Amino acid sequence: MEPVKSPIGIYIHIPFCRSKCPYCDFYSLTADENAFDAYTAALITSIKHWAQKLNRPFDTLYFGGGTPSLIGAERLARLVDASFSAFGVQKLDGGSKPPPYNIADGFSVGRGLAPAAAVPEITIECNPRDTGAKDSRFNFQTLRAAGVNRISLGLQSAVEAERKSLGRRGTADDVTRAVRHAKEAGITNISLDLMLGIPAQTLTSLRRSIDYCANAGVTHVSAYMLKIEAGTPFAARRGSLKLPEEDEICEFYLKACEELEKVGFSQYEISNFANPGFESRHNRKYWNCEEYLGIGPAAHSFIDGRRFFYERNLEGFLAGREPAADGEGGSFEEYAMLRLRLNEGLTQSETLGRFGYGIPEAMRERAKQYAEQNRLVSDGKGIRLTSKGFLLSNRIIADLLD
Amino acid sequence: MPNLKQNIRNFCIIAHIDHGKSTLADRLLELTGSVALRDMTAQLLDKMDLERERGITIKAHAVKLDYKAPDGKMYALNLIDTPGHVDFNYEVSRSLAACEGAVLVVDASQGIEAQTLANTYLALDHNLEIIPVINKTDLPAAEPDRVAAEIEDIIGLDCSNAPRVSAKTGLNVERVLERIVADVPAPTGDESAPLKALVFDSVYDSYKGVIVYIRLVEGKLKAGDTMCMMATGAKFTVVEVGYMRATHMEPAEELTAGEVGYVTASIKTVKEARVGDTVTTAANPAAEALPGYRKVNPMVFCGVYPADGADYGNLRDALEKLQLNDASLSFEPETSGALGFGFRCGFLGLLHLEIIQERLEREYDLDLVMTVPSVIYKIHLTDGSVVEIDNPTHYPDPASIAFSEEPFTSSHIYSPPDYVGAIMELCQERRGVFKDITYIASDRVDIHYELPLNEIIYDFFDSLKSRTKGYASLDYELIDYRRSSLVKLDVLLNGDVIDALSFIIHSEKAYGRARKIAERLKDNIPRQMFEIPIQVAIGGKVIARETVKAMRKDVLAKCYGGDITRKKKLLEKQKEGKKRMRQFGSVEVPQEAFMAVLKLDDV
């Protein structure tokens, strides 16, 4: 009997934006309707190609960008349909509520056991203005019918002035409307993005953004500390941006962790917080070092121990260029580096299951000093960083893996 | 055997750096057919890459040239090439002692410079016949008449017959050979007297052992003789004697008085065949050695450590190999709490230090950490004894010190008059004692200062050059030890002393230096998980401090599919970075921090 192939995650990149936010270094361009059509067609071709090549099912599908909502619900629905049919995955209907995510499932799936019948998690990143403006005609129903059961909205901040300084179109009200429309269509698993350490932010203004999230009726919050990326307008303007001091940013982060917890969003990763059961299954694959396929320019993949990626070039992708190799993946170091981003951390049992050996003694030794500083916990279950530890996770993880 | 002594001329070429000594030597080799033109790589005698790169001669070489003069007679011209840098004065003087004449090369556009004079005086001290040659006449800036006048005025040499040449193009170079034959006296010496031969150079060869270059003053030498080194007492059986040609060694039956050649005797190290020593025979030993032998003493010291401790053995081997051919390089093991195991090395001067450092890094592929160069201080203790300290870690307890002395030099700086102000300012900054200022030419002054050796051993020369747009040149020699107010500066990180960074300094300079060190360390030590206090102290008293704030945030907020390889690479880089870190107590200090402090340049 053929062993059951474990399902992969699929990421589809939509590289279009109306305008480029000054802090963003993801690959995106402004474009028009024709480009959208051409691109959608190219994606479908690619989806079919990969489905045949890999011969494996998927259990998560994630549309990121750019601004996926920009190409419209119809095209997105077509892409979802194409994925289901190409990969031969059943479009199970989980009703109006998404199934709870059982963390143990990842473990059994990883061991090639028949997965619990799970409704595939299908996420679309949406721009609040496009999908929540008063005159928006974005059709969440179309998405729902295709099987989409999760959306992510870029709030960034509930404070208007802060949104403006980030170059964001739209208002908090747009977000509120978008959430309502999505829920009315039956999509209730909704995530909001927040940013920490943005120009002119204070603890008080952060509190307002968190309160908004608490009252928005959403299931998930991603709170990212702003990073000034080289080559972006923010990098050029660094001197004149009124960015908070490093100490303040640390305070904001720890405060955010605390406050989000209080209103029901449990931290499960460095920057991700969710109502229990509503963690992002797709992103979990990254941090659990599981396999995923990335389609579209700048999209990355990890299949069969190998990493590869499509270059940041739309023409290239449209012309059918093959992705470039990016080394091997799945080593213990890589796994540990990723797992330590989770609150769950590196566990003795899963490490043993995956590699045949448990957490090295040397790592436990090195973990001791950090445990003393309350930056991590090291016990029978495994090693996991605290929020305080997350702030210095680059340093700590590098040290643990030395 | 015909008495060919009349046909022998022993000479050397002396000049200031870059005046064209080596190029002239090349032309002489060519003209005498010693080297086929197509075998010429420019400046053949500068065999080492390093020498060629820097345009300087480090090791002396000697070559026998066969010259057919216009009068039809064959002459044996022994050209002895000499180092031109002030660090190697002793080697120059021994080479001069092997000659009867010196060809003095002066650049027609630069005129007389520091080493022109220094070497000329040395040559005159050795009673050599000096043949002035004015070189680089091909350059547009050449002023041969002016330079000839300068030579006549300052040195007092008659330049009416001085060949005006271009060593580069070959113009008039035959005149040089004619003058050598005409003006340099033939050597004298009695073949039947007991052997007295001056060692003026030695080179280690892996097949023959040390090749000893000698000038026979009296007597003769052949294979089978038992030779005797008079200063060290060492005895060897001669394997071979002969002449050095430009491209090969030419064995001979015997060498006789007046001749220049080589001897090999399975000698293992150059330390056993020291420059300046006298070779005689066991069978018929000379009563007295030739004068002038001097044990060469290092003037400048520094710690040399391998960047990677695992390289210690390689460093030791490399130093041993270098020492085979460099009797003036000294080294002994030393340890440092911060840097691990290394060596304290002694050099003739800063150039010597730099050359050795470059050779270690380049030829032996070693990554090194060098500590601050230091000199030998004389510390007089309260109990009446005197200790000589070349390593700051051996500095005695201040309570036991009566007073300290530091070495002083007599330094001459030659420069155009425009820069006198800047130069005097520099010398004052370096605690110089003004002695004299004289015009040696209409556009050249000689500024004479007495400067502490430790003020000029590191970057004084560079500062001098940069303040004078490169026109100034320096000549110095050690003259005496003087009382000085010295202190030892200690550097503490997180409360622990880092001995590798300690050094002895004049109390006047201590505060300024302490502040600079604290700043440099602060700029170069990366933030760590805790605050790091940096303190610089004299004895127990902290005189400068800085703090490296604790790192609070070092996190990758987003790590999705496309970020993973980037993150992996970052991790790799961090690991690489760690390798260059030295753990000192709980503080990680990168190599760059050490270098920044140890290579302090005060310009």
Candidates A200, A204, A246; CA nearest to A225 is A246
Quote the pLDDT of residue A114: 38
Percent of chain A with pLDDT over 90: 76
**What is residue B21's three-state secondary structure?**
helix
pLDDT of A116 > 50? The answer is no
Mutate to test the interface with A, among B527, B555, B571, B586 (most CBs of A within 10 A): B555
| Contact (CB, 8 A) for A137 and A76 | no
CB pairs under 8 A between A and B: 90
- The residue to which tokens 């401790």 are assigned: B309
Decide if B564 and A300 are in contact by the 8 Å CB cutoff: yes
Quote the pLDDT of residue A110: 42
**Nearest-angstrom CA–CA distance, B235 and B311:** 36
Q: Which residues 49-88 of A are in CB contact (within 8 Å) with B? A: 64
- The residue to which tokens 């690619």 are assigned: A46
**Nearest-angstrom CA–CA distance, A236 and A255:** 29
Give mean pLDDT, residues A310-325.
94
**Nearest-angstrom CA–CA distance, B367 and B107:** 39
**Residue in A225, A326, A398 nearest the CB of B574:** A398
Judged by a CB distance cut-off of 8 A, whether residue A340 touches chain B is no
Mutate to test the interface with A, among B528, B564, B575, B586 (most CBs of A within 10 A): B564
**Nearest-angstrom CA–CA distance, A153 and A317:** 27
Decide if A299 and B561 are in contact by the 8 Å CB cutoff: yes
Residues of A in contact with B530 (CB under 8 A): none
CA B225 to chain centroid, in Å, comes to 35
The residue of chain B with its CA nearest to that of A369 is: B529
> Is residue A245 exposed (0-12), middle (13-18) or buried (19+ Cβ within 10 Å)?
exposed
pTM above 0.90, yes or no: no
Judged by a CB distance cut-off of 8 A, whether residue A32 touches chain B is no
**Nearest-angstrom CA–CA distance, A265 and A257:** 9
Quote the pLDDT of residue A98: 46
Residues of A in contact with B570 (CB under 8 A): 394
The alpha-carbon gap from B579 to the nearest alpha carbon of chain A, in Å, equals 11
**Nearest-angstrom CA–CA distance, A86 and A95:** 23
Decide if A394 and B556 are in contact by the 8 Å CB cutoff: yes
Residues of B in contact with A25 (CB under 8 A): none
Quote the pLDDT of residue B75: 92
CA A90 to chain centroid, in Å, comes to 23
Decide if B559 and A329 are in contact by the 8 Å CB cutoff: no
**Nearest-angstrom CA–CA distance, A188 and A179:** 8
Residues of A in contact with B564 (CB under 8 A): 286, 300, 302, 307, 329, 334, 338
* H or E segment and range at residue B192: none
Judged by a CB distance cut-off of 8 A, whether residue A318 touches chain B is no
Give mean pLDDT, residues A185-197.
95
Decide if A301 and B561 are in contact by the 8 Å CB cutoff: yes
**Residue in A270, A286, A397 nearest the CB of B561:** A286
**Residue in A309, A334, A393 nearest the CB of B562:** A309
CA A85 to chain centroid, in Å, comes to 24
**Nearest-angstrom CA–CA distance, B329 and B352:** 9
More confident residue, A187 or B200: A187
Quote the pLDDT of residue A93: 57
- The residue to which tokens 């230090």 are assigned: B353
Quote the pLDDT of residue B56: 43
**Average pLDDT taken over every residue of chain A:** 90
Judged by a CB distance cut-off of 8 A, whether residue A324 touches chain B is no
**What is residue A116's three-state secondary structure?**
coil
Decide if A393 and B556 are in contact by the 8 Å CB cutoff: yes
Residue A20: pLDDT band (50, 70, 90) is confident
pLDDT of A200 > 90? The answer is no
**Nearest-angstrom CA–CA distance, B91 and B83:** 7
**Residue in B557, B571, B578 nearest the CB of A225:** B557
Decide if A250 and B552 are in contact by the 8 Å CB cutoff: yes
Residue B181 identity: V
Candidates B293, B561, B252, B187; CA nearest to A284 is B561
Quote the pLDDT of residue A112: 42
Percent of chain A with pLDDT over 70: 93
| Contact (CB, 8 A) for B590 and B581 | yes
Judged by a CB distance cut-off of 8 A, whether residue A28 touches chain B is no
Complex-level ipTM: 0.91
Decide if A227 and B557 are in contact by the 8 Å CB cutoff: yes
Judged by a CB distance cut-off of 8 A, whether residue A301 touches chain B is yes
Structure tokens at B454: 């430790």
Residue A101: pLDDT band (50, 70, 90) is very low
Residues of chain B with pLDDT under 70: 1-4, 35-60, 83-89, 293-297, 299, 337-338, 458, 595, 598-603
> What are B's interface residues with A at a Cβ cutoff of 8 A?
529, 551-562, 564-565, 567-568, 570-571, 574-575, 578
Candidates B193, B221, B196; CA nearest to B290 is B196
- Show the DSSP H helices in B63-135 as ranges: 89-97, 114-125
